[in-house]
Amino acid sequence: MNKYLYQGKLALVTGASSGIGEAYTIELAARGCHVILTARSEDKLEALACQIKREHGVQAYALPSDLSIVGASRQLAESISELGLTVDILINNAGFGTYGRFEDIDPEREQEEMMLNTATLVDLTHLYLPGMLERKDGIVVNVASMAAFVPCPYSAVYGATKAFVLSFSEALWAETRGRGVRVLALCPGATDTGFFDAVGSRDMAAGSALSTSENVVQAGFRGIDRRTSYIIDGRNNYMAAQMGRFLPRARAAKIMERLSRPKV
């Protein structure tokens, strides 16, 4: 464990009120990192911030924001600046998925999905990566998904956003190597969070066993320690991700369609 990467630093965690974001926030605090928590749920954020301050003796700031709204990331950055805070670590975790036949999904919901999963992530990285590079010290973790590696029928937009996150992160990793900043795409498989409750179906998991948020977060820390461009949580997930490398993409898409097809 490289405590020097986190001790006394300040991390901004999006989607921090539950699931992977909550687990990331708690683990960062346990490593001596001060944290800024943001998500839509103010009550959950405040309760978690109080818990973290009490249990870990670090500063925790709850700044509620709906980052699926255009301009919300800039407003969040202004609030952070007004507090006189400097972000050393950025955990771009906030995101959600949609599931079903493309023609049946609410177009406005998918616009929000693209905004949160990609545009907001890029905007926050634009806001905080330059300062990290100037200081020659910083970490950016972008939470992608196993969905980044193969076409995802019935969650076409979600899969496409996560493919974007993976490609974007790998490119930034290459740009920033040797400049003091570590960039990682963290790729979980199906995880036991509220994700599938929000989607409204577990069929999107394509029969995969569920990991835990804590396992995903530990994979993220391993990826940063290894200075790799991406890391996949779980050996079985790693093997499954290789399907896109060894099979024609059309065949991979057909396999995923059968696995992910709605059961009702």
Q: Is 158 a catalytic residue?
A: yes
Q: What is the pLDDT along the chain (264 residues), one digit of tens a residue?
A: 566 789 999 999 999 999 999 999 999 999 999 999 999 999 999 999 999 999 999 999 999 999 999 999 999 999 999 999 999 999 999 999 999 999 999 999 999 999 999 999 999 999 999 999 999 999 999 999 999 999 999 999 999 999 999 999 999 999 999 999 999 999 999 887 665 555 555 555 555 567 899 999 999 999 999 999 999 998 888 888 887 778 888 998 999 999 999 886
Q: Provide the residue range defining the domain that includes 67.
A: 3-260
Catalytic residue among 6, 99, 158, 230: 158
Give the domain CATH number at 42: 3.40.50.720
Split into its structural domains, the chain has a count of 1
DSSP line for the chain: --GGGTTT-EEEEETTTSHHHHHHHHHHHHTT-EEEEE-S-HHHHHHHHHHHHHHH-S-EEE----TTSTTHHHHHHHHHHHTT---SEEEE-------S-GGGS-HHHHHHHHIIIIIHHHHHHHHHHHHHHHHT-EEEEEE--GGGSS--TTSHHHHHHHHHHHHHHHHHHHHHTTTTEEEEEEE--SBSSSHHHHHT-SGGGTTPPPB-HHHHHHHHHHHHHHT-SEEESSHHHHHHHTHHHHS-HHHHHHHHHHHH----
Query: pLDDT digit string (tens) for 105-127?
Result: 999 999 999 999 999 999 999 99
Please choose, from the candidates 96, 226, 117, 203, the residue with its C-alpha nearest in 3D space to the C-alpha of residue 168.
117
Residue 69 confidence (pLDDT)? 96
- Residue 59: phi and psi, rounded to 5, are -80, 140
Query: pLDDT digit string (tens) for 136-174?
Result: 999 999 999 999 999 999 999 999 999 999 999 999 999
- Residue 159: phi and psi, rounded to 5, are -60, -40
Residue 246 confidence (pLDDT)? 82
The answer to whether residues 32 and 4 touch, using CB atoms and an 8 Å cutoff, is: no
